[in-house]
Amino acid sequence: MIKPKFPVDEQERLAALHSYHLLDTLPEKDFDNITALTANICDVPISLVTLLDADRNFLKSHYGLSFNESPRDTSFCGHAILEESSIFIVEDARKDPRFKDNPLVTEMNSIFYAGVRLVNSEGYPLGTLCVFDTKPRTLTTSQKKALIAMAYQVVNLFEARKHNRILLNVQAELKERNEELKTFAGVVSHDMKMPLANMIITSDMLRSKYGKLLDNQGKEYLDYIKQSSFTLSEYITGLLEHYETNKTAALRSEVFDSQDLIEEIIELLNINIDCEINLPEENIEMQANKVALEQILLNLVGNSLKYNDKEKIKIDIDCSEKQEMYYFTITDNGMGIHNEQLSQIFNLFATSNTLDRYGKKGNGIGLSTVKKLVNRLGGKIEVTSTLGEGTTVKFSVKKLN
């Protein structure tokens, strides 16, 4: 018997092998199906998917054998990975000086062997797809082609498994970072709210106590401090709502009337400008996440109010149901949105250069939060708009039991 030599790039090959995390793993149906099919095509009792480790031959799939590893020194596959031919064949191992005294031959009667190297995308042979028989024989041309094709599929499975593992690791890392960001946003936002409230109160106190001593510019500075504090407070509130959408969307469902919901939204908005809001003609008894719907509608109707340059604001709200979904439509006669901005309005922090009717610029958080909530509630949202004429927002949410 002649022991198989090691490839010249053995350390690099082993590193490549270990990167797939396949050694010492449990049997998998995808690989077992290939070895079973290969044995049937080649008409042999044994078919294996092998991985050549430093000192052993690990059998990732073994059809016709009860064990899952053997010494590398006695393996046929140790010789096969050194051969750069498309297929390595030993028709009668008893007549081959490399194998005639091999325990696999003398004790297990492994006479015939055919193996195809499993070469990864970097060019390293990780192991083989091989077959054994207990008698001397040959393979037909079609059997050889099938064995080579099956080996190619095994490598594809290796690569797909590795790719999936990488994606899962990236997903876990992103989830961890997202949780850290949520925690950071929550802590910072809560810690900043009190100082901002103090700034607003202090500016009012200064105006009340020392207003007579201040000139117009001094009063403008106080107004600027107060308004900036309000703007930052709104920004922080928006961030908190955005990062808490998962909690909001997970709240239990309630039974409520669509008319009551919309009327509550209008009341909460405390509208003090000339505005006509047309409610849906039909009242629907709904069963959904009311808190999440309130947040969505507050944001959308609020935008219709803020981004409107008409003397009289007009907002039409429609609500309907069909099968397993509720559908909402909000149409206004506001400023409208540029076509090139429509595809980005739901991106976090995406803003246009348009100022609202009070001369303020948006923070790009509200619509991103709305889309996250709609998606979490099993629905979709879309926006159409004509610049200078108005905007229509349509969204759906799934009925909950």
Q: What is the pLDDT of residues 172-197, one digit of tens each?
A: 888 887 777 667 666 666 666 677 77
* Residue 154: predicted pLDDT: 96
Report CA dihedral (353, 355, 356, 357) to the nearest 10 degrees. -150
In percent, the amount of the chain with pLDDT more than 70 equals 89
What pTM, to 2 d.p., does this model score? 0.54
- Residue 133's nearest CA partner among 91, 85, 162 is 91
Task: State how far the Cα of 326 lies from the Cα of 319, in Å rounded to an integer.
Answer: 7
* Residue 295: predicted pLDDT: 86
- Residue 367's nearest CA partner among 300, 278, 317, 271 is 300
91: amino acid identity, one letter: E
Instruction: Find out whether 310 and 334 touch, Cβ atoms under 8 Å.
Output: yes
Q: Over 90: is that where the pLDDT of 332 sits?
A: yes
Report CA dihedral (211, 214, 215, 221) to the nearest 10 degrees. -90
150-173 pLDDT tens trace:
999 999 999 999 999 988 888 888
108-146 pLDDT tens trace:
899 999 999 999 999 999 999 999 999 999 999 999 999
Q: How large is the average pLDDT for residues 293-317? A: 90
* Residue 340: predicted pLDDT: 79
What angle is formed at CA 340 by the lines to CA 334 and CA 341, rounded to 5 degrees? 55
Task: State how far the Cα of 110 lies from the Cα of 134, in Å rounded to an integer.
Answer: 5
* Residue 235: predicted pLDDT: 63
Q: How large is the average pLDDT for residues 352-379? A: 81
* Residue 94: predicted pLDDT: 94
* Residue 186: predicted pLDDT: 67
* Residue 247: predicted pLDDT: 67
- Residue 321's nearest CA partner among 387, 400, 228 is 400
Instruction: Find out whether 325 and 379 touch, Cβ atoms under 8 Å.
Output: yes
Instruction: Find out whether 104 and 110 touch, Cβ atoms under 8 Å.
Output: yes
Q: Over 80: is that where the pLDDT of 257 sits?
A: yes
151: amino acid identity, one letter: A
Q: Over 70: is that where the pLDDT of 48 sits?
A: yes
Could you tell me the residue ranges of all domains in the chain?
Answer: 10-168, 179-243, 251-398
Per CATH, the homologous superfamily of domain 251-398 is Histidine kinase-like ATPase, C-terminal domain (3.30.565.10)
| 77 or 170: which leads in pLDDT | 77
Q: Over 70: is that where the pLDDT of 231 sits?
A: no
* Residue 24: predicted pLDDT: 94
Per CATH, the homologous superfamily of domain 10-168 is GAF domain (3.30.450.40)
What angle is formed at CA 179 by the lines to CA 174 and CA 185, rounded to 5 degrees? 120
